């Protein structure tokens, strides 16, 4: 059965899904003048066949031709739009291979991406004022390390907002949260309540602090009815978030824990012409959408260039940013804390077997070295019976690696998706890992040196999704305060741009479709206000995005 499924991966996902898109336009009969001509001084095609090109033409939603400006100009007619990007920089559209765009749903949750506990309380009070007593108040984008008070949010802070409403504030990392006393009462949790399997209620001085982690979060999600919005509201959220991401230079993203609500939201926005990004949709393995897709005979690769089913997603351990990932050595200052597993070895093996049996690729979240080892072992077991082209199983995040893990990842043809903005944005957290671990975390240099096509990943909401910040983070390894974390993992600007374009396409079996400015590929490109290779590396994130074009249409213009 494994051999048969490998053949389906190779034929169905690769050739069947993408081959039709890779035909050169001129050979397919796309004659006539271009719809768009782009003139450049600095053009990064990411295609070694066009290293010195200074212009390209677009017809419909495809790149028609790439070359010298004097040749491309001949393709322009009276109705052709000429984008004069001379003095600017043009690149392929940037790709985010792992994010959660719909996680920032401001329709049902207060945005608490602020820098003080007082501001968090103010945002929650505003939401509580319009919410009947007894109903949940939710907050999202909380970050415990960036508060002016120099401490984390706690139960008493939330009790100060309301004791009439249960309150849950979700960390932007997605693995922990903070609740108030009313929420504990509603869930029936006291200081004597044992921690759930693969979860934790945090205690201090014989009292509950309000912080909860991993599967302990599930206890509150099951306690009472959380707020929701109608179908139109979810579609509006998909339109809003993809529009915001397009403004950063992204033309493709991946929703790495998809639900039925999420699929409908993207599909509704797409049908209404309001989807501003291509979306690779990874159904959550524990979500009903995965069960429904299997029952309908769908598999990885189903869909089109705008909305396509990707790998099924699972999670084997905790979070890097929230310091719960499962490691072989403990956290600094916490000698008994080795992190949290969220799947057993048996569950990981069963998930891989089920995915392969139903023609799905699989991506399992594994941050710590021990979790990565478990996931790799499950992949290697199955791949031994699947000779031929790799199905490109993924390890989501793949944060802390070792030389032996790197060799195994390469040999198995596995695609790692480490965080690309974390070194810069989350610098206040890395002291809990220590200098030695940071030399082997978010290991872009090590992956590339091992010949591994490492993919770009923001993990938004946990990390910012902006590609310019990603380039700066991977190139400098400096955090927002100028501290350097793991300088041995620095990569060049050109390497970082390739990670964020061609490697992003490779991660979803779409390298013949996008990721470079090549004749026949989709017309996805970005106009930057400056050249990342020419600015101060510490200021790359300040480069303005002037225009984003996806599918031949402008999705953002400054």
Domain ranges of the chain: 32-92+517-558, 108-221, 232-514
Round to whole Å and give the CA distance between 386 and 403.
Answer: 25
Could you give the 3-state DSSP secondary structure of residue 320?
A: coil
Q: What is the predicted pLDDT for the residue at 15?
A: 31
Round to whole Å and give the CA distance between 120 and 380.
Answer: 46
Give 284-316 pLDDT, tens digit per residue: 999 999 999 999 999 999 999 999 999 999 999
The alpha carbon dihedral of 314, 502, 441, 381 has a sign of positive
Low-confidence ranges of the chain (pLDDT < 70): 1-31
Give 338-368 pLDDT, tens digit per residue: 999 999 999 999 999 999 999 999 999 999 9
DSSP state of 256: E
> In what helix (H) or strand (E) does residue 253 lie, and over which residues does it extend?
strand 250-258
Looking at the domain that runs over 108-221, which CATH code has it been given? Answer: 3.10.310.70
pTM of the model as a whole: 0.87
Q: What is the predicted pLDDT for the residue at 27?
A: 38
Enter the tokens of residue 266. 């993207």
Round to whole Å and give the CA distance between 185 and 136.
Answer: 13
CATH fold of 232-514, please?
A: TIM Barrel (3.20.20)
Q: What is the predicted pLDDT for the residue at 108?
A: 85
What are the start-end ranges of the E strands in 398-511?
Answer: 415-417
> Does the structural domain 32-92+517-558 have CATH classification 1.10.486.10?
no
Q: What is the predicted pLDDT for the residue at 25?
A: 41
Q: What is the predicted pLDDT for the residue at 31?
A: 55
Q: What is the predicted pLDDT for the residue at 13?
A: 36
């Amino acid at each position: 059965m494994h051999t048969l499924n490998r053949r389906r991966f190779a034929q169905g996902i690769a050739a069947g899904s993408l081959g039709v898109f890779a035909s050169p336009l001129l050979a397919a009969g796309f004659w006539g003048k271009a719809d768009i001509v782009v003139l450049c001084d600095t053009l990064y095609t990411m295609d070694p066949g066009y290293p010195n090109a200074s212009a390209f033409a677009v017809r419909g939603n495809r790149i028609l031709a790439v070359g010298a400006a004097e040749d491309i100009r001949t393709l322009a007619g009276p109705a052709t739009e000429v984008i004069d990007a001379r003095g600017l920089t043009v690149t392929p559209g940037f790709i985010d291979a792992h994010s959660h765009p719909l996680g920032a749903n401001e329709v049902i949750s207060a945005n608490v991406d602020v820098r003080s506990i007082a501001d968090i309380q103010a945002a929650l009070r505003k939401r509580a004022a319009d919410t009947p007593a007894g109903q949940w108040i939710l907050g999202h984008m909380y970050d415990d390390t960036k508060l002016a008070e120099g401490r984390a949010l706690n139960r008493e802070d939330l009790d100060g907002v309301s004791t009439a409403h249960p309150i849950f504030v979700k960390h932007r990392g997605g693995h922990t949260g903070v609740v108030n006393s009313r929420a504990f009462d509603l869930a029936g949790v006291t200081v004597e309540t044992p921690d759930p399997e693969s979860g934790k209620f945090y205690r201090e001085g014989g009292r509950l602090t309000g912080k909860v982690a991993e599967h302990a979060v599930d206890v509150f999600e099951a306690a009472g009815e959380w707020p929701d919005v109608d179908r139109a509201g979810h579609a509006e959220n998909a339109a809003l978030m993809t529009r915001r991401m397009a403004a950063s230079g992204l033309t493709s993203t991946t929703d790495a824990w998809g639900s039925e609500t999420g699929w409908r939201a993207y599909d509704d926005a797409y049908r209404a012409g309001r989807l501003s990004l291509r979306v690779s949709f990874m159904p959550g393995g524990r979500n009903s959408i995965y069960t429904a897709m299997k029952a309908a005979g769908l598999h990885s690769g189903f869909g089109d260039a705008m909305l396509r089913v990707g790998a099924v997603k699972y999670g084997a351990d905790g979070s890097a940013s929230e310091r719960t990932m499962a490691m072989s050595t403990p956290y600094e200052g916490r000698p008994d804390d080795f992190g949290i597993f969220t799947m057993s070895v048996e569950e990981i093996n069963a998930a891989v077997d089920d995915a392969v049996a139903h023609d799905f690729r699989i991506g399992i979240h594994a941050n710590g070295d021990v979790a990565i080892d478990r996931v790799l072992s499950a992949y290697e077991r199955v791949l031994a019976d699947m000779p031929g082209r790799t199905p490109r199983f993924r390890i989501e995040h793949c944060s802390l690696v070792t030389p032996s893990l790197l060799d195994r990842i390469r040999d198995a043809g596995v695609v790692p998706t480490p965080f690309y903005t974390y070194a810069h944005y989350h610098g206040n957290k890395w002291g809990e890992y220590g200098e030695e671990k940071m030399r082997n975390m978010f290991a872009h240099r090590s992956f590339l040196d091992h010949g591994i096509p490492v993919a770009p990943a923001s993990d938004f909401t946990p990390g910012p999704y902006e590609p310019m910040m990603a380039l700066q983070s991977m190139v400098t390894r400096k955090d927002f305060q100028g501290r350097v974390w793991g300088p041995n993992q620095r990569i060049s600007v050109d390497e970082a741009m390739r990670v964020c374009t061609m490697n992003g396409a490779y991660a979803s079996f779409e390298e013949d479709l996008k990721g470079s400015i090549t004749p026949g590929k989709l017309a996805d490109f970005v106009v930057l206000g400056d050249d990342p290779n020419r600015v101060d590396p510490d200021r790359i994130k300040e480069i303005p995005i002037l225009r984003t074009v996806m599918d031949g249409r402008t999705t953002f213009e400054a």
